[in-house]
């Protein structure tokens, strides 16, 4: 009689434990990164009244007679299954999928480590990457000032240092042109002036009066005009009326104008125009080659005219593209006019549209406004930029010429984004981007063996194994930026388990009630 009472009590206690776990699961249904738990039961000790008997020649075997003494909690298991990520739109929020946890620490050195699946991170006033609710530092590897990240070093708290929140200016050293120049571009077949006269073969025409050029500056084979009508090989015509130093010639195409940005050592921006013009191939080798001339776009310059007082006059800046001298242009810079010079380049392409050769890597030379300093401490105000044209192609189709450059102006940190590999990238006001840090991820042999510490944190246990801390890509987990992992609590299953647990609790309480009634009856029989 008493055994049933003790069994009923053990059932009540065990089902109460299960209800406690269910209640905690339901309470955390909206807790980000929460991992639910489950309770499993096991029967406890048995009182053996008779043991099992082996069969004999005359009598069969008998089973043991045992009375169970109740129920106990076998385990409370942590269910480390993935939950669905939910987009938040906040670029510092992160969601993990797979066997991995974020590493956080109570100190910036990253010594006192905890682990979490809740990726609601942000930057504090000192640009520490932290858990805003607790102030725990997110652990990873910080980049150096050049944006290099060494994931083999010791992970520490992620922080954007003062030196990383701004970016100094970098002078441009190389401009690389990529893309295609149209092999089918129409060429000029006839040049007619405003008076109806035709420019003779072998001569060039330029729009501008003779007074627009400094005396003696206009080559003898270049004829000025107030307007030009160009007849092209595709049957179309083009009228040129604006004053310009560009020289048009029969057999050549209209120029393709590109603008490349060059930064000096102070971060001043200079827009340098380069012209690409298809020209006739006057040589016999290589066979079938097409040629393009690359020059600076001629500009304007100002010249002081002696007198009392002296005056200043603006002239068009002509040059002979076929001459051996440098082409030059004057551009408006931050500190006044900046003179740019470059040797004229002639590019050759084979019948397959591939680059054959040029006259070498041209060099842009900027003076007056470059802002560089000489070895003796004096201002040099001159800088050189290599121009790489070897990546260009020549196929029939559209012109897609584009210039990439390596320099930039000074800038300050504008925002920080995290990509799928866990790299924090800073975007600066000058348009440049630089790697700032790499998030660390921990992996355990037995993640369900971790100890819950509250506040969405876990700690290592004797059964979890040691944390294997590496990068996201090295561990093969999935990181979703601008999202948070939700709770993996299945509310429908939890309510079903709650009903079953309640019925079990009621049944065990009934055992106690019936046992009490039976005891009362026995006692009354002895009176």
Decide if pLDDT at 289 tops 80: no
Does the structure show a pLDDT above 50 at 296? yes
Report if residue 294 sits inside a domain.
Answer: yes
| Predicted pLDDT at 331 | 65
Note whether 173 and 190 are same-domain residues.
Answer: no
* CA–CA dist 171, 403 (Å, integer): 16
258 with 344, same domain: the answer is yes
Residue with the bigger pLDDT between 313 and 335: it is 313
Between CA 245 and CA 242 the distance in angstroms is 10
Task: Classify residue 353: in a domain, yes or no.
Answer: yes
Cβ atoms of 416 and 424 within 8 Å: the answer is yes
173 and 311 share a domain? yes
Is the confidence at residue 374, as pLDDT, over 60?
no
Cα–Cα dist 368/338, whole Å: 5
- Angle at the Cα of 311 from the Cα atoms of 309 and 315, rounded to 5 degrees: 165
Model confidence pLDDT, tens digit, residues 16-39: 999 999 999 999 999 999 999 999
Q: Is residue 423 part of a domain?
A: no
Q: What is the pLDDT of residue 311?
A: 82
Q: Domain for residue 468, yes or no?
A: yes
Q: Is residue 248 part of a domain?
A: no
Please provide residue 358's backbone torsions phi and psi, each rounded to the nearest 5 degrees: -145, -170
Answer whether residue 449 is part of any domain. Answer: yes
Distance in angstroms (rounded) separating the CA atoms of residues 95 and 428: 25
Residue that terminates a domain, selected from 359, 389, 409: 409
Q: Which residues of 33-65 are buried (b: 16+ CB within 10 A; e: fewer)?
A: bbbbbbbebeeeeeeeeeeeeeeeeeeeeeeee
Instruction: Judge if 259 and 374 occupy the same domain.
Output: yes
Residue ranges with strand state E in 241-381: 256-263, 269-279, 290-296, 300-305, 311-316, 326-333, 336-343, 345-349, 355-357, 363-367
d(CA 162, CA 189): 62
Together in a domain, 233 and 176? no
Q: What is the pLDDT of residues 98-121, one digit of tens each?
A: 999 999 999 999 889 999 999 999
492 and 481 both lie in a single domain:
no
Segments forming the whole domain that contains residue 94: 88-162+437-485
SS3 label, residue 233: coil
* Span 280-309, average pLDDT: 72
- In whole angstroms, give the CA distance from residue 255 to residue 270: 21
Taking 80 as the threshold, does the pLDDT of residue 264 lie above it? yes
Do residue 223 and residue 285 come from a single domain? no
* pTM score, whole prediction: 0.74
Is the domain of 31 the same as that of 178?
no
Phi-psi region of 471 (alpha: psi -120 to 50; beta: other; left: phi over 0): beta
Can you tell me the distance from the alpha carbon of 442 to that of 80, in angstroms, rounded to the nearest whole number? 14
Give the pLDDT mean for 152-165: 93
Same domain, yes or no: 221 and 112: no
432 in a structural domain: no
Kindly tell me if the per-residue pLDDT of 375 is higher than 50. Answer: no
Tally of structural domains, the chain:
4
Same-domain check for residues 384 and 292 = yes
Shared-domain flag, residues 104 and 229: no
Q: Is residue 424 in a domain?
A: no
Spatial separation of the C-alpha atoms in residues 261 and 40, rounded to whole Å: 69
The pLDDT mean for the chain works out to: 87
pLDDT above 70 covers what percent of the chain? 89
Crossing angle (nearest 10°) for helices 491-525 and 2-27 = 160
* pLDDT mean over 472-479: 93
Shared-domain flag, residues 179 and 317: yes
């Amino acid at each position: 009689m008493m055994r049933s009472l003790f069994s009923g009590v053990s059932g009540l206690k065990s089902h109460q434990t299960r209800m406690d776990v269910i209640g905690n699961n339901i309470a955390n249904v909206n807790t980000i990164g929460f991992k639910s738990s489950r309770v499993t039961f096991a029967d406890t000790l048995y009182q053996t009244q008779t043991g099992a008997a082996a069969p004999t020649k005359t009598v069969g075997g008998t089973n043991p007679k045992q009375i169970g003494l109740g129920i106990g909690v076998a385990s409370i298991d942590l269910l480390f299954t993935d939950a669905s990520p939910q987009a938040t739109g906040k670029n510092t929020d992160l969601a993990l999928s797979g066997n991995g946890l974020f590493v956080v620490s109570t100190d910036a050195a990253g010594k006192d480590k905890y682990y979490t699946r809740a990726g609601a991170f942000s930057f504090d006033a000192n640009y520490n990457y932290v858990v805003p609710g607790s102030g725990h530092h997110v652990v990873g590897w910080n980049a150096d000032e050049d944006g290099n990240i060494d994931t083999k070093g010791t992970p520490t708290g992620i922080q954007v240092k003062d030196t990383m929140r701004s970016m100094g200016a970098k002078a441009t050293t190389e401009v690389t042109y990529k893309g295609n120049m149209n092999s089918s571009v129409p060429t000029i077949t006839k040049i007619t002036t405003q008076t109806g006269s035709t420019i003779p073969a072998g001569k060039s025409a330029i729009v501008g009066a003779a007074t627009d050029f400094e005396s003696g500056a206009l080559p003898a084979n270049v004829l000025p005009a107030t307007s030009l009508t160009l007849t092209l090989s595709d049957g179309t015509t083009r009228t040129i009326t604006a004053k310009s130093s560009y020289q048009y010639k029969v057999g050549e195409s209209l120029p393709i104008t590109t603008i490349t940005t060059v930064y000096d050592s102070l971060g001043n921006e200079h827009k340098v125009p380069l012209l690409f013009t298809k020209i006739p191939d006057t040589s016999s080798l290589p066979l079938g080659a097409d040629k393009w001339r690359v020059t600076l776009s001629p500009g304007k310059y100002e010249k002081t005219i002696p007198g009392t007082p002296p005056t200043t006059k603006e002239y068009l800046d002509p040059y002979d593209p076929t001459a051996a001298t440098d082409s030059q242009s004057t551009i408006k810079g931050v500190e006044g006019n900046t003179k740019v010079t470059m040797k004229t380049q002639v590019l050759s392409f084979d019948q397959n549209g591939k680059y054959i050769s040029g006259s070498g890597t041209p060099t842009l030379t900027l003076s007056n406004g470059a802002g560089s300093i000489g070895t003796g401490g004096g201002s040099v105000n001159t800088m050189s930029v290599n121009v790489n044209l070897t990546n260009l192609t020549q196929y029939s189709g559209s012109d897609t010429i584009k210039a990439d450059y390596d320099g930039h102006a000074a800038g300050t940190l504008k925002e920080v984004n995290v990509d799928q590999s866990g790299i924090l990238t800073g975007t600066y006001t000058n348009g440049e981007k630089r790697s700032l840090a790499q998030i660390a991820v921990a992996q355990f042999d037995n993640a369900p063996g971790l100890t819950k510490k509250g506040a969405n944190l876990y700690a290592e246990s004797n059964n979890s194994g040691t944390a294997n801390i590496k990068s996201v890509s090295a561990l093969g987990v999935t990181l979703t930026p601008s999202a948070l992992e939700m709770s993996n609590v299945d509310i429908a299953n939890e309510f079903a388990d709650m009903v079953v647990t309640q019925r079990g609790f009621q049944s065990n309480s009934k055992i106690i009630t019936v046992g009490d009634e039976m005891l009362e009856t026995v006692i009354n029989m002895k009176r």
